């Protein structure tokens, strides 16, 4: 799931290093009245030091900024400068514990090590330095710069590590958005299928309809080709992220604007007001659709300009993302259950490979990945989602909702709960097929309702495992079995598995028997309804 992988990859932090790596919070306070405070992410080793769980038990220290030195020698700093202070120095040239021993000998009470690269585990051998007792933590260099700009030169800091929340209630919002989008996309696809069936009775419209359907139908061959393209695209993103990320952003803006237009145009079409038209190039168009196109384009442009504004840009991204998923589910047509099984199965295997297997491929003989910045091989999906080289630009292929529970994870990992578009679109295509099959066989929506419920159950199962394991989960690992098994059981129970597997024959009959006469058309329609 190129889409599904990138979609969900933002959630995952799999294949953790074997050394201890604990997330904590540095709480910084300025010297103003009232003092300005701000929290920053830190990484520490709980085997070396135990941090308080709340601010109530934390001790504040004055911060001494010594990022001009790496502190590999006590001669690098004047005597007495560190006494009873928290000290921040640069990473490099010597081990963390060697720096800590020097800082402790000079009277420091806390050591912060600033890193310009991505934060990683602290893995020195503590047994070689049993006499080191001061807290040691790794912090981003950019956070130190931000601290000086926001809080001023006189800053007091403390460290603490609050426990992880049992459940992040933003997941409830994610759940509602996902189920709503899948259900509505499937229903919309069924409405389009019903209109297509009615159009079969009109010989003048039949050929046009057939060509249109042929362009958006996923066959088993095109499914395989689609997955191969996704694989190639993901690998290219891994190596050329800094350039391709802007291509993806541009494509998202264009596709989401068109999708939002299609979704809103379908709603506006049901309103019997404001239908005045103008003539342009011998064609007439409704004025309200012109304004709608301008509005949708403006929405995509505003998002593109302010996409890194975390306070509100996520709302616009989610609206555009939901429209994109709805239009994708409605437009791409799975012709039968066989194609659905191939698509969902291949994307599930794709997910597993690029998350679990690629870390062994990206690791070279020296224990570094292709970028040379991680001793443990990195998952290609995780790297692409996080942005290789620490790139601040993120791929806009996820639904984002701010986390409602305050914890170190919101600072160190992602301040948002995420669900990839693929986790909506991929199962959504199966739900849409079930809805169309219901329409073709007049089966009272049993397939559609069952598959939608199965999708909701799969999402709940994903969140339960997430809460229990405290680790991001690949949603398709639960969504694919839930939806495929449920759909199969319904078809088997109704003794329609053969029809469900091969799909309705009304399209094939229409294509093969098309002669332009009413008898052939009526026969194809009757066979479709009789199934």
Are 204 and 153 within one domain? Answer: no
- 172 with 92, same domain: the answer is no
| Structural domain that includes position 97 | 47-160
Question: Do 308 and 395 sit in the same domain of this protein?
Answer: yes
Q: Quick one: average pLDDT of 158-163?
A: 86
Task: Please indicate whether residue 280 or residue 457 has the higher confidence score (pLDDT).
Answer: 457
Query: Could you give the count of Cα atoms lying within 13 Å of 338 in the half-sphere of its Cβ?
Result: 12
334 and 222 within one domain: yes
Identify the residue with better confidence: 169 or 501.
Answer: 501
CB 428, CB 329: distance < 8 Å: yes
- Domain boundary pick from 113, 130, 160: 160
Please tell me the total count of domains within the chain.
2
Q: What is the percentage of the chain residues whose pLDDT exceeds 90?
A: 27
pLDDT for position 393: 79
Q: pLDDT tens, 308-345? A: 887 889 999 999 999 999 999 999 889 899 999 999 99
Quick check: 405 pLDDT over 80? no
* 3-state SS class at 157: strand
Q: At residue 7, does pLDDT exceed 70? A: no
CA-CA distance, 155 to 28, in Å (whole number)? 7
- Let me know whether 133 and 178 are in one domain: no
Place 200 in a pLDDT band, splitting at 50, 70 and 90: low
Is there a catalytic annotation at residue 39? no
Domain boundary among 110, 141, 160: 160
Give the active site residue among 22, 351, 374, 438: 351
Residue 410 clears pLDDT 60, i.e. is over it = yes
Question: CA-to-CA distance for 248 and 233, rounded, in angstroms?
Answer: 10
Of the residues 318, 374, 423, 438, only one is catalytic, namely: 423
Which range has highest mean pLDDT (5-14, 16-25, 112-121, 499-508)? 112-121
Same domain, residue pair 131 and 237: no
Copy the structure tokens of residue 329.
Answer: 């589910």
Q: Give this prediction's pTM.
A: 0.74
Q: Tens of pLDDT along 129-144?
A: 677 888 888 898 888 8
pLDDT the model gives residue 414: 63
How does residue 507 score in pLDDT terms, banded at 50, 70 and 90? very low
Q: Is residue 20 part of a domain?
A: no
Regarding whether 322 and 306 lie in a shared domain, the answer is: yes
Split at pLDDT 50, 70, 90, the class of 303 is very high
Asked if the structure places residue 223 within a domain, the reply is yes
Per the annotation, the verdict on 423 as an active-site residue is yes
Query: For the chain, what is the radius of gyration of the CA atoms?
Result: 28
């Amino acid at each position: 799931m190129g889409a599904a992988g990138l979609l969900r990859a933002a959630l995952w932090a799999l294949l953790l290093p074997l050394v201890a790596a604990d997330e904590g919070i540095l709480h910084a306070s300025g010297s103003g009245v009232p003092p300005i405070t701000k929290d920053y992410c830190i990484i520490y080793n709980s085997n070396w030091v135990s941090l308080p769980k709340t601010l109530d038990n934390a001790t504040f220290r004055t911060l001494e900024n010594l990022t001009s030195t790496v502190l590999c020698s006590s001669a690098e700093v004047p005597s007495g400068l560190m006494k009873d202070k928290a000290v921040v120095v640069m990473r490099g040239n010597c081990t963390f514990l060697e720096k800590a021993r020097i800082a402790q000998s000079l009277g420091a009470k806390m050591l912060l090590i600033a890193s310009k690269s991505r934060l990683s585990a602290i893995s020195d051998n503590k047994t070689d330095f049993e006499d080191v007792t001061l807290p040691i933590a790794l912090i981003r260099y950019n956070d130190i710069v931000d601290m000086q700009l926001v809080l001023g030169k006189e800053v007091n800091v403390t460290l603490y590590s609050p426990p992880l929340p049992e459940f992040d209630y933003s997941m409830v919002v994610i759940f509602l958005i996902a189920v709503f989008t899948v259900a509505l996309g499937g229903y919309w696809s069924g409405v389009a299928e019903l209109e297509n069936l009615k159009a079969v009775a009109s010989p003048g419209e039949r050929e046009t309809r057939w060509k249109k359907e042929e362009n958006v139908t996923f066959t088993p061959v095109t499914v395989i080709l689609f997955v191969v393209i996704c694989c190639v695209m993901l690998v290219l993103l891994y190596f050329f992220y800094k350039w391709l990320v802007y291509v993806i952003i541009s494509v998202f803006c264009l596709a989401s604007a068109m999708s939002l237009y299609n979704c809103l145009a379908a709603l506006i079409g049901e309103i019997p007001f404001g239908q005045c038209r103008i003539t342009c190039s011998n064609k007439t168009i409704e004025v309200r659709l012109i304004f709608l196109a301008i509005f949708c384009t403006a929405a995509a442009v505003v998002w593109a300009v302010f996409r890194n504004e975390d306070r509100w840009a996520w709302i616009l991204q989610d609206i555009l993302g939901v429209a994109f998923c709805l239009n994708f589910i409605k437009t791409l047509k799975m012709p039968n259950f066989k194609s659905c099984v191939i698509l969902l199965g291949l994307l599930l295997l794709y997910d597993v490979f690029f998350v679990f297997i690629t870390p062994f491929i990206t690791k070279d003989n020296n224990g570094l990945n292709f970028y040379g910045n991680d001793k443990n091989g990195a998952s290609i999906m995780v790297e692409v989602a996080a942005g290789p080289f620490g790139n601040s630009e993120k791929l806009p292929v996820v639904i984002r909702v701010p986390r409602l529970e305050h914890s170190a994870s919101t600072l160190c990992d992602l301040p948002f709960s995420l669900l990839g578009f693929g986790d909506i679109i991929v199962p959504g295509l199966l739900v849409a097929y079930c809805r169309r099959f219901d329409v073709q066989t007049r089966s009272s929506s049993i397939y559609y309702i069952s598959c939608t419920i199965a999708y909701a159950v799969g999402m709940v199962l994903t969140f339960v495992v997430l809460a229990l394991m405290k680790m991001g989960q690949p949603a398709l690992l639960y969504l694919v079995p839930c939806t495929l098994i449920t759909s199969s059981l319904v078809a088997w129970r109704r003794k329609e598995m053969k029809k469900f597997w091969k799909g309705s024959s009304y399209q094939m009959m229409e294509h093969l028997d098309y002669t332009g006469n009413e008898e052939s058309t009526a026969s194809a329609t009757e066979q479709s309804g009789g199934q």
